[in-house]
Chains A and B, each alone.
Chain A
Amino acid sequence: MRSDQQGYDRGVTVFSPDGRLYQVEYAREAVERGSPVVGVCADEAVVFAASGPRRSSLMAAESIEKIHDLDGRLGAASAGHVADGRRLVDVGREFAQRERLRYGEPPRVESVAKAIADFVQETTQTGGTRPFGAALLVGGVDGAPDPLTGESPHRGGDSVPGAVDSGPRLYEVDPSGAPTEYHAAAVGHGADESRAFLETEYEPGLDRAGGTTLALEALTESVDEPTAAELDLAVLDADGIDSFGPERRASALDDAGLAAS
């Protein structure tokens, strides 16, 4: 143990004298070790791209889940501890259905992201727990008809004062439980490079294909050569989540000029 930490990393609920929560910072390290995911807001869609490399040729590639359907409409992409990520995804799934039961309308991206974030935050302040070693990108299109009922969701529309705009939204939830909205985001191994790339290259008004290409290019900043087999790719638009199969992944890589294999 480094002397400057003096045991302040023993419990998650203990601040260091300079106001840091070491366990939460270690959890962020766990996220940094995870294979990367990228999210990009296009004009009418959110694109998720992720890399899920197989550690062994014996592993079934389809069993590596990086992008998850939350309620048929919204989705989440996870990086870090797989088991922790799965738990957070299920929290999001149950929240989405509970909102429907309570209000009769689907929740917005912001509501789901904040519900997951609140759940994560509790683990940073409760004795006997450890923080989640996973970060989530939560995205989708607000204000679209609910695929479950076919009904338009929110009272709202532009004419209602205080109504939130409809359109694509993207949130990141980190191990501290902080929800942050982004136009484009990256988490996981090499995310700094992807983020730097997105900061220079992202511009609003991307179409679906442009968003997909940008997400794949950003992912390539942190993964050497993404192959169609190890890629996970999904577009979330007004019709819900659309996960790409192997052939469409290969052609998306082709379109982005990144065809490797």
Chain B
Amino acid sequence: MRRRHDPRGTGHGIERLRGRRRRPGEPVEAGGQRGEQSRSGDQPRYETGTTIVGVTASDAVVLAADRRMSLGGRFTANKAVRKVERVHPTAAMAISGAVGPAQRLLDSVRAEASLYASRRGEPLSVPALARTAGHAVTGLPVAPLLGGVDEDGPRVYELDGSGSVLADAYAAGGSGLQVAYGVLERRFEDGLSVEAATETATAAVATASERDTASGNGVTVAVITDDGVAVESRAEAADAGDDAEGVA
């Protein structure tokens, strides 16, 4: 008779919950419609058509993203994509890259964080959450930003499919990142108020949406504090302020 109890059955990885483990280098199924999927040899490649930013304030983090999903940056396939989601009681993630793997990544990270909290009776620290997300994103055509607040303060992490996990005070990602960084470099400073950080993050996304054809259709903003994560999405073109109108 088949032995019922799998001796490995007490492992803790979420990949195991899904029933299969993806090997490094194994092609991911073409779940993502956004972005160019150009094949060079056997390797699918995904561009990131999006603008996402993360900005720390004195005791909060603000993540912002545009709402457009495009096909190769040439056709708007969806105008109300939610690219920022809560994954932890005091952390959220903004996604850029292939949509399918990115959505599964959000689910996995959320499941890992929840399982940790149930098992240990306390939430994951933000650095531990970033490390967990780094494991989960490795090998995926996704480059997310993670923003979180814990007792050590607010932090933004840049992650990508190579598994890198880089902490920073502010960051931008996606195809609009160069425009967004232009705004962030000029406006960011340490110890911003929540309002100022929200305006800066929103302006960065709005400005990138002006010039990057793969970004647009409004903005989603997540404000993360000790109290939790508040996500707000709006369709109207965000106010880019003087950043988009050209400096007089």
Interface size on B, residues (CB 8 A): 20
- CB pair B14 A101 closer than 8 Å: yes
Residues of B within 8 A of A93 (CB): 115, 118-119
- CB pair B1 A72 closer than 8 Å: no
- CB pair A101 B114 closer than 8 Å: no
The majority secondary structure among interface residues of chain A is loop
Give residues 1-56 of B contacting A (CB, 8 Å): 1, 3-5, 10, 14, 17-18
- CB pair A148 B1 closer than 8 Å: no
> What's the nearest-Cβ distance from chain A to residue B225, in Å?
15
Give residues 28-77 of A contacting B (CB, 8 Å): 68-72
Residue B244 CB within 8 A of the other chain: no
Q: Please, what's the 1-or-0 string for A136-161, where 1 marks a CB less than 8 Å from any CB in chain B?
A: 00000000000011100000000000
Selecting from B105-113, B144-152, B194-202, the interface stretch reads B105-113
Residues of A within 8 A of B10 (CB): 90
Residue B235 CB within 8 A of the other chain: no
Closest 5 CB pairs of A and B: A97-B111, A126-B4, A98-B17, A69-B118, A93-B118
User: Can you add 16 more A-B contacts, CB < 8 Å, to A129-B4, A149-B85?
Assistant: A69-B117, A90-B119, A93-B119, A97-B14, A97-B114, A100-B107, A100-B111, A101-B108, A122-B4, A123-B4, A126-B1, A127-B1, A128-B1, A129-B5, A148-B110, A150-B86
- CB pair A94 B115 closer than 8 Å: yes
Q: How far is the CA of A205 from the CA of B117 in the complex (A)?
A: 32
User: A residues within 8 Å of B by Cβ?
Assistant: 68-72, 90, 93-94, 97-98, 100-101, 104, 122-123, 126-129, 148-150
Of A72, A93, A148, most B-chain CB atoms within 10 Å: A148
Residues of B within 8 A of A71 (CB): 114, 118
Residue B121 CB within 8 A of the other chain: yes
Residues of B within 8 A of A70 (CB): 118
> What's the nearest-Cβ distance from chain B to residue A92, in Å?
9
Q: When A100-B107, A101-B14, A101-B107 are in contact, do A148 and B114 touch as well, CB less than 8 Å?
A: yes
Residues of A within 8 A of B107 (CB): 100-101, 104
Residues of B within 8 A of A97 (CB): 14, 17, 111, 114-115
Residues of A within 8 A of B5 (CB): 129
Residues of A within 8 A of B117 (CB): 69, 72
Q: How far is the CA of A150 from the CA of B84 in the complex (A)?
A: 14
Q: How far is the CA of A227 from the CA of B194 in the complex (A)?
A: 46
Q: When A122-B4, A129-B4, A129-B5 are in contact, do A101 and B111 touch as well, CB less than 8 Å?
A: yes
Residues of B within 8 A of A100 (CB): 107, 110-111
User: In chain A, what residue has the closest Cβ to B103?
Assistant: A104
Q: List 6 A-B contacts (CB under 8 A).
A: A72-B117, A93-B118, A100-B111, A101-B18, A127-B1, A129-B4
Q: Please, what's the 1-or-0 string for B85-97, where 1 marks a CB less than 8 Å from any CB in chain A?
A: 1100000000000
- CB pair B4 A101 closer than 8 Å: no
> What's the nearest-Cβ distance from chain B to residue A48, in Å?
15
> What's the nearest-Cβ distance from chain B to residue A177, in Å?
13
Residues of A within 8 A of B118 (CB): 68-72, 93
> What's the nearest-Cβ distance from chain A to residue B186, in Å?
34
Q: Select A69's contact among B14, B108, B121, beta carbons within 8 Å.
A: B121
Q: How far is the CA of A128 from the CA of B3 in the complex (A)?
A: 8
Residues of B within 8 A of A68 (CB): 118
> What's the nearest-Cβ distance from chain B to residue A106, in Å?
10
> What's the nearest-Cβ distance from chain A to residue B211, in Å?
33
Of B1, B85, B108, most A-chain CB atoms within 10 Å: B1
Q: How far is the CA of A104 from the CA of B111 in the complex (A)?
A: 11
